[in-house]
Structure 1
Amino acid sequence: MKSFMRWTAILATAALLASCKTQLQPTVSKQQYYQIDSALVGDTSIINYYLPYKGKLEAEMNRVIGYADMALTKDGAGESLIGNFFTDALLWKGQQLDPEVQVSFGTKGGIRSELKAGDITVGNIFEMMPFENAVTILTLRGDDMLRWAAFMAKTKGQPASGIQLVIENGEVKEFFVQGKPIDPQAQYKLVTYDYLANGGDYVTCFDQVLARKDYSQRIRETLMEYVSTLTKEGKHIQAQIDGRVRINK
């Protein structure tokens, strides 16, 4: 009898909760839309709170760190001015971190903006690489380097430095690393960023790496350091289409 009464109480409680749940469903009795535009008066307490930070941020974003003699655009088949600049900077940093690094790699989609001719600001670099991607160095077998080259051929070229790649009919026709033919049995070191090393942008050729070293430096920090270093040396930012990735028709 006690068991029957206990289960009856439990079922009654469950029924009550279920009925309460049904009754407490929110409903909209009157819809009203609010327009957000310049006529809306800001909260001065909030504005006064963030204004000092906004000023500091704008000052930093507008800080000039270099000068580009030409516009670095995404235009081009196989390679582009902005892609060559990007991966040259990445290879420069990779070889600082590990002198055995031979090549660098990014993707066209990862470079989010071009650079106009003239002053280069911190904000310009943030626009180019707004993500938190960090530097990664991979050790690969030669045959996996060939898989990487095949990926670039399939995708009609990607930003890279330290290589000469000839693509014909979507296939790798010639592939050199630092001027030498690829050796399938040799080992190579490639600098990229963690997003691509993890398989982002459909990059599947880094699934069998021999070694991997992740660094804390962000890619945009590398780009800013590269531009600032050249500026201190009295150099302007330049890039050229040099045939590192060529597509034969």
Structure 2
Amino acid sequence: MKHFQINVSISHFGFFLFVALLTSCHRYFVPASHQYTQQQIDSTLTPDAAYMEYYRPYKQQLEAEMDRVIGHTDVALTKPSNVPETRLGNFFTDALLAEGKKQYPDAEFSFGTKGGLRIELQQGDITIGNLFELMPFENELVLLELSGKSVQQLAEFIAATGGQPVSGLRMKISDGKATDIAVAGKPLELSHTYKLITYDYLANGGDNSRGLNSPVSRINLGQKVREALITYVSEQTQAGKHINTQLDGRIIHDQ
């Protein structure tokens, strides 16, 4: 077996040359034996003071950032499960549509799901940490161009599930079916195409959503949903505004 020795002062070029020599040998290694130690993670573990001291500055920095106030909501942003429209859902999809329109001003509506929103926001200050808790996933915004028939399918999914967060779309739910569907203030036309802002999890079929799996086109916007929320709230604050999301009848039960 050949032995190699690297001088610690080796140049970058020399190091990459050494790696090239190693990877060009086509030699494979397999372990002669397997040994492992199982570590139980429970209350019997004692804190490692040295390690805690090592990461303390990072922990303090992270906590300071998560506690940073970036906005204020004048109303509690809640999401009751037994109603078709919620303040939290309206806030969420209004933010998505506003951020999506920065890149694509002709985007017409946005869509999310109640299950994707993990906490409610209480009346008062909004922190970075609040928005991380609201959307803890690494989902990214996407623009989907949908046929009118696909929008109809999406509306039927919304109706069948008792209502989901939307912005730019209005509809009624009658006996579990979608009626009076309008996009960007105009009645839905099956022959038209529409531009939707949503996020990759739903665009990929998450939450059993319907109508999104066969878009005319799809563009990834390169922005995480959480970043969009942070930007939206921060810009409202910079403009001297509080979040004051109301119910406006965008989805109603037709009695």
Please point out which of 101, 115, 122 is paired with 2:107. 101
Aligned residue in 2 for 1:49: 54
SS of the equivalent of 1:236 reads coil
Please point out which of 231, 236, 240 is paired with 1:225. 231
Where do 1:17-28 residues align within 5 Å? none
SS of the equivalent of 2:249 reads coil
Please point out which of 90, 111, 116 is paired with 1:110. 116
Q: 1:35 and 1:212 mapped to 2: Cα distance? A: 46
Aligned residue in 1 for 2:216: 210
1:236, distance to aligned residue in structure 2 (A): 0.3
Q: 1:150 and 1:161 mapped to 2: Cα distance? A: 16
1:146, distance to aligned residue in structure 2 (A): 0.5
Segments of structure 2 that go 5 or more residues without pairing to the other structure are 1-39
Where do 1:75-224 residues align within 5 Å? 75=80, 77-224=83-230
Q: 1:167 and 1:72 mapped to 2: Cα distance? A: 23
**Shift in CA distance, 35/124, structure 1 to aligned 2, threshold 3 Å:** closer
Aligned residue in 2 for 1:66: 71
Q: Deviation per CA, 1:68-124: give whole Å up to 9, x if none.
A: 111110126111000000000001011111011000000000011110111100000
Identity of aligned residues (%): 48
Q: TM-score, normalised to structure 2's length? A: 0.82
Task: State the structure with more CA Rg.
Answer: 1
**Shift in CA distance, 50/245, structure 1 to aligned 2, threshold 3 Å:** same
Read off the aligned partner of 2:172 and give its amino acid letter.
Answer: V
Q: 2:42 and 2:243 mapped to 1: Cα distance? A: 45
Read off the aligned partner of 1:215 and give its amino acid letter.
Answer: L
**Shift in CA distance, 34/236, structure 1 to aligned 2, threshold 3 Å:** closer
1:174, distance to aligned residue in structure 2 (A): 1.1
Q: 1:43 and 1:144 mapped to 2: Cα distance? A: 56
Q: 1:231 and 1:189 mapped to 2: Cα distance? A: 28
Q: 2:248 and 2:100 mapped to 1: Cα distance? A: 21
CA RMSD of aligned residues (A): 1.9
Q: Deviation per CA, 1:147-187: give whole Å up to 9, x if none.
A: 11011011111000001110010001210111111010111
Q: 1:230 and 1:179 mapped to 2: Cα distance? A: 24
1:247, distance to aligned residue in structure 2 (A): 1.4
Q: 2:125 and 2:185 mapped to 1: Cα distance? A: 34
Q: Deviation per CA, 1:5-54: give whole Å up to 9, x if none.
A: xxxxxxxxxxxxxxxxxxxxxxxxxxxx99616xx531111111111110
* Larger fraction in helix: 1
